[in-house]
Amino acid sequence: MNNSIASVPFPKNEPIRSYEPNSEEKKSVLKTYNKLKQSNIEVPMWINGKSVKSSKTHNMSPPHNHKHSLGKYYLAEKKHVELAIKSALNAKEKWSNMPWEERAAIFLKAAELIAGPYRDKINAATMLAQSKTIFQAEVDAACELIDFLKFNIHSMQHIYSQQPKSDSGVWNRLTYRPLEGFVYAITPFNFTAISGNLPGSAAMMGNTVVWKPSDHQIFSAKIVIDVFKEAGLPDGVINAVYGDPEMITDVILKSKYFSGIHFTGSTTVFKDLWKKIGAKIDNFISYPRIVGETGGKDFIIAHRSAKIDELVTAIIRGGFEFQGQKCSAASRIYIPKSMSKKVFSKLKKQISTIKMGSPENFKNFMTAVIHENSFDKLSRVIKKVKKDRDAKILVGGGYNKSKGYFIEPTIITTSNPKYFTMEKELFGPIVTIYTFDDSKWDKVLNLVDETSEYALTGAIFCQDRYILEESVKKLENCAGNFYINDKCTGAVVGQQPFGGARGSGTNDKAGSYLNLLRWVSPRLIKEVFVPPRDYKYPFMG
């Protein structure tokens, strides 16, 4: 019996641990790091609650030490994807009928497990799999994932309590059904939190899910799965398959019960998925929900009234933390000529102090980029810039892949505001600066607006309130997350709901009620207590 209307715990953001020298938390996470480094694990697929192996495997290695093996994971064949779909569909009825408080309890427990016994493991695995420093791992794998889980559960309750009004004699009720069928979640390499959130948010709203993590995050995705298991997620609610994304997607889209996609990754892949879904629209029993958070070419624009030290810190942190591999990373910068000399000199000085290497060494601010393809692409960009006439390298420009995929923090300056590094997402530690005439502020605002296909994040540094007010208006459509006198990265769940428009995605704001609404299909129930007994209306009298 459940004769009560439960209230979920009010969410608070998870406090970030600082991992100071000689702290117990530092020792403890390093101990786990070293243990996981030698673990040589096998990661089977996770289908209907069971570990499933196949005949094909891939190796996993840390990007900062690519010759070292962390173990291997199993690749799906067509039959495994079909099994994952079947298992999601079989689990659906029981899961969607489970009282929402019970579902909430599972995900709240998952959050507490990450905050407590799994914290070191999920952080250490993220340091190894994605080469994050401890701070970047802590804000992602621990804090953001905990926040996603807790805030989403709170939003879930909020959504369920939204009800229509009822006139006298009538009772209108809205029920929030999960989508009919199953949801397909595809996650990127760069955030362990996203890997838990995309399948998790759809599942908490009563859906069952087939999840395909990125090949380059499977080592830490495994910890997410361990947490969900230990939290008591029933078999088949989330099913993880790994490997060839095109084959997996083709099998998924053959099912008429495909009801939605929860995607985060690059714009090209998302556009391709959208086209494939469109081409198969007659195949599905419903119009699938298409939710995608995609690429960015995020900007910082400085007015001559900006404070130089604040601007320089924002460029370095926003551009180079996690090697610039954040969708929100600052990568095109607009600064007025009057301050360029000072900004350049401070950037040079400060960047020369940046240490790069393994995340095991806490002095390192940067580590390696994710894989060889990314390394090769970024080093090609640097080679081209070195040859081009309209750009030059102000700082950095070095690269080395002998041990890990290391690219130096690199700043390019260009006289061409449409230079390709001002337009294209590079997803690495490369930042381009365009210097403008102080008197051309309005023109440069237009440039910011027109220069790339994306509209994810952007920041303005300015102390003049008139200019600020006008500029924020003019830049209205350039960014889904806009920052004033702050770097353009580091959105916090519950505080800065995250997502962008234009080529950056469907802007459904992960970690907020707006996103969760995409995973329900409301049903209105109207009940009339004393129905009319004569078809004639009074006006006919």
Q: Is 214 in the site for ligand NAD (CB under 6 A)?
A: yes
Restricted to residues 447-466, the positions that interact with ligand NAD (CB under 6 A) are 456
User: Does residue 143 have an active-site annotation?
Assistant: no
Region of 19 (left: φ > 0; alpha: ψ -120 to 50; beta: rest) is left
Q: Does 212 bind ligand NAD (CB under 6 A)?
A: yes
The closest of 407, 409, 329 to 373, measured between CA atoms, is 407
The residue among 160 and 274 lying less far from ligand NAD, judged by its C-beta, is: 274
Longest Cα separation, the chain: 92
Beta carbon nearer to ligand NAD, 297 or 346: 297
Q: Which helix H or strand E contains 299, and what residues bound it? A: strand 298-302
What residue number has its CB nearest to ligand NAD? 265
From the candidates 327, 462, 478, 488, which is the catalytic residue? 327
CA distance 319 to 324: 5
- Residue 187 binds ligand NAD (CB under 6 A): yes
Q: Is 140 in the site for ligand NAD (CB under 6 A)?
A: no
436 forms beta bridges with 336
With tokens 């087939």, the residue in question is 210
- The answer for residues whose C-beta is within 8 angstroms of residue 479's C-beta and 6 or more apart is 298, 299, 455, 456, 457, 458, 488, 500
Of the residues 20, 93, 102, 246, which one makes contact with ligand NAD according to CB under 6 A: 246
CB of 145 to ligand NAD, least distance (A): 14
Chain center to CA of 437 = 36
Residues between 499 and 528 with contacts to ligand NAD, criterion CB under 6 A: 504-505
SS3 290: strand
Catalytic residue selected from 77, 138, 293, 360: 293
- Interface map 44-83 toward ligand NAD (x if CB under 6 A): ----------------------------------------
Torsion of CA 336, 338, 341, 343, to 10 degrees: -50
Closest to ligand NAD by CB, 206 vs 505, is 505
Residue 440's CB is within 10 A of a number of other CB atoms, namely 13
Among 90, 266, 340, 521, binds ligand NAD (CB under 6 A): 266
Residue 462 annotated in active site = no
Among 106, 127, 253, 327, binds ligand NAD (CB under 6 A): 327
Measured CA to CA, the distance from residue 336 to residue 368 in angstroms comes to 32
Window 399-458: residues binding ligand NAD (CB under 6 A): 425, 427, 456
The residues that touch ligand NAD, with contacts defined as CB under 6 A, are: 186-191, 194, 212, 214-215, 245-246, 249, 264-266, 269, 272-273, 293-296, 327, 425, 427, 456, 498, 504-505
Catalytically active residues, by annotation: 293, 327
